[in-house]
Amino acid sequence: MRAPSWVRVMLVHLVLLVVTVAALYPVLWVLKMALTPGQSFAVDPWPIPQTVTFENFAHVINTETSEGGWLFGRQLFNSLVISLSTAAVGLALSTSAAYALSRFKFVGKEAGMGAFLITQMFPGVVMLIPLYLLLDTMNLLDNLLGLVFVYATTSVPFSVWTLKGYFDTLPRELEEAAMMDGASRWQTFTQVVLPLATPALAVTGLFSFMTAWNEFILATTLVSKPEQFTLPIVLQRYVNDYNAEWGHFAAGAILVSLPVVALFFALQRYFVEGLTAGSVKG
């Protein structure tokens, strides 16, 4: 297709710039609050800080436990362990299910796919307390494992949906070739299908990771030991009804967001491919 005139090129770039600035504006604002000394809310609409200090970051990072331990490190570690485990467990649960839904023809398959999506419609509000009681019965309260299981299952429907869509686009002949080569269903799945599904696995893994990384309501309810707290719980404490430490909150928000943003950029190239397949095929 022909390139349009330079006027149009410039105009489109200008519009793109405006939209991008609008999209980044709140992010820049958080950055400004984090870098500006003090705990007040930024009022100046100009999103570039006048004075730059890292004391808010230092405060958040250096917060100590009552025993003098490194609280931030501990909670960062918890968040990482929980989120990575959630991604792993979530993928383990959803890949095989998505593959079965994509390839097999068993009784109740349609209903099964429907059921996974229907759970997306459950309003979370009423599930909090029953979930607490259930985990208590299973002895998984105050247990990071319990949190991982809850997050992982929460992420399953979307993962199954995305992965199934992606599996649908993979040519069946490859699997048939593997079967002719003597591979079992499971070998075919692990050695041929999964390596080919890397984009979708990366995307669903990232979303499972995010489910756990950003969540605080369940985390607050299901865990009561500070040594098991995750980062969002800590962040929550900076802004409450009585006082708002905006500087600390902003610094914390950036620290919490940073790993996810980094993962987003790292896995970006998989996004377009990994997500769309799911959506195209449904």
Partner 1 sequence: MATVTLDNLHKAYGETVVLDGVNVEVASGEYIVLVGPSGCGKSTLLRCIAGLETITAGELCIGGKRANERAPRDRGVAMVFQSYALYPHMTVRDNMAFALKVAKVSKKERYAQVDEAAALLELTPLLDRLPGQLSGGQRQRVAMGRAIVRRPDVFLFDEPLSNLDPALRGHMRVELKRMHRRLGATIVHVTHDQVEALTLADRIVVLDKGQVQQVGSPRDLFERPANVFVATFIGAPAMNLLPVIGEGETCRLEGLEQALPVSGTGAFTLGLRPSDMFLADSGIPGVVDVIESLGSEAMVHVTVGAHDVVVRAEEPVQVNSGDVVHLKLSTVHRFDGTTGRRLE
Partner 2 sequence: MTALLLLLATASASEVTVWHSYSGAEQAALEQVADDWESTHPDDRVSLVALPFGGFDTKVDTAIPRGNGPDLFIAAHGNVAKWVLEGVIEPWTSDTTGIAPVGLDAFTVDEQLWGLPIATKSLVLLYDPSRIASPPQTTDELIAMARAETADGHYGLAYQAADPYFHAPWMHAFGAVAIDDDGTVSLDGDAQVQSFAFARRLAVDEGIAPTQPTGELVSRLYEDGDVTFVISGPWFTADLSRPVAAAPFPMVSETGLPARPYLTVDGIYQAKGAPSPELAQDLAWAIASAHGAQTRQDVGGQAVTWTATTGASPLVQTLRTQAETAIPMPTHPDISAVWEAQAYALRRVMRGSASPERAGREAQARFEQLQQKDVVEVSRSPYIAAFGVLLLGLVGMLVVRLRNPELRNELAATKWDYFWIGPAALAMIALVVTPFVLGAAVSLYAYQGGEWTFVGLSHFSDILLSRDFPITSPMSFFYTLAVTILWTVTNLTLHVSIGVALALVLREPWIRMRGMWRALLILPWAVPNYITALIWKSMFHAQYGAINKLLAIVTPGPGPVEFDWFAQFSTSFAANLATNTWLGFPFMMVVTLGALQAIPKDLEEAAEVDGAGYLTRLRHVVWPLLRPALLPAILLGSVWTFNMFNVVYLVSSGEPDGSTEILISEAYRWAFSRNNQYGYAAAYAVLIFGVLLVYSRAANRLVGRKVL
| Ranges within 184-223 binding partner 1 (CB under 8 A) | 184, 187, 191-192, 195-196
Sign of torsion over alpha carbons 223, 226, 231, 234? positive
Return the one option of partner 2, partner 1, none that residue 264 interacts with (CB less than 5 to 8 A, by type): partner 2
Return the one option of partner 2, partner 1, none that residue 15 interacts with (CB less than 5 to 8 A, by type): partner 2
Least distance CB 195 / partner 2 (angstroms):
18
Exactly one of 108, 123, 130, 182 binds partner 1 (CB under 8 A); that residue is 182
Query: Helix and strand tally (H, E) in the chain?
Result: 13, 0
Least distance CB 178 / partner 1 (angstroms):
7
String of contacts with partner 1 for each residue 64-103, x by CB under 8 A: ----------------------------------------
Contact 55, 37 (CB under 8 A): yes
Per the document, the length of the chain is 282
Return the one option of partner 2, partner 1, none that residue 192 interacts with (CB less than 5 to 8 A, by type): partner 1
Least distance CB 195 / partner 1 (angstroms):
5
> Residue 14, interface with partner 1 (CB under 8 A)?
no
Return the one option of partner 2, partner 1, none that residue 179 interacts with (CB less than 5 to 8 A, by type): partner 1
**146-175 residues near partner 1, rule: CB under 8 A:** 171, 173-174
> Residue 176, interface with partner 1 (CB under 8 A)?
yes
Residue with smaller CB distance to partner 1, 39 or 190: 190
Residue with smaller CB distance to partner 2, 72 or 116: 116
Return the one option of partner 2, partner 1, none that residue 139 interacts with (CB less than 5 to 8 A, by type): none
Angle at 111 between CA 137 and CA 154, to 5 degrees: 40
Q: Tell me which amino acid residue 252 is.
A: G
Least distance CB 137 / partner 1 (angstroms):
43
Residue with smaller CB distance to partner 1, 53 or 190: 190
Of 233, 236, 204, nearest to 76 (Cα)? 233
Q: Which residue has the tokens 């195209």?
A: 280
Sign of torsion over alpha carbons 138, 120, 92, 259? negative
Least distance CB 197 / partner 1 (angstroms):
10
Instruction: Give CA 219 to chain center in angstroms.
Output: 15
Return the one option of partner 2, partner 1, none that residue 107 interacts with (CB less than 5 to 8 A, by type): partner 2
Residue with smaller CB distance to partner 2, 126 or 180: 126
- Contacts for 168 with CB less than 8 Å, ≥ 6 apart: 102, 277, 281
DSSP states of 3-15: ---HHHHHHHHHH
Angle at 78 between CA 74 and CA 84, to 5 degrees: 145
Sign of torsion over alpha carbons 175, 181, 185, 186? negative
The widest CA-to-CA distance across the chain, in whole angstroms, is 68
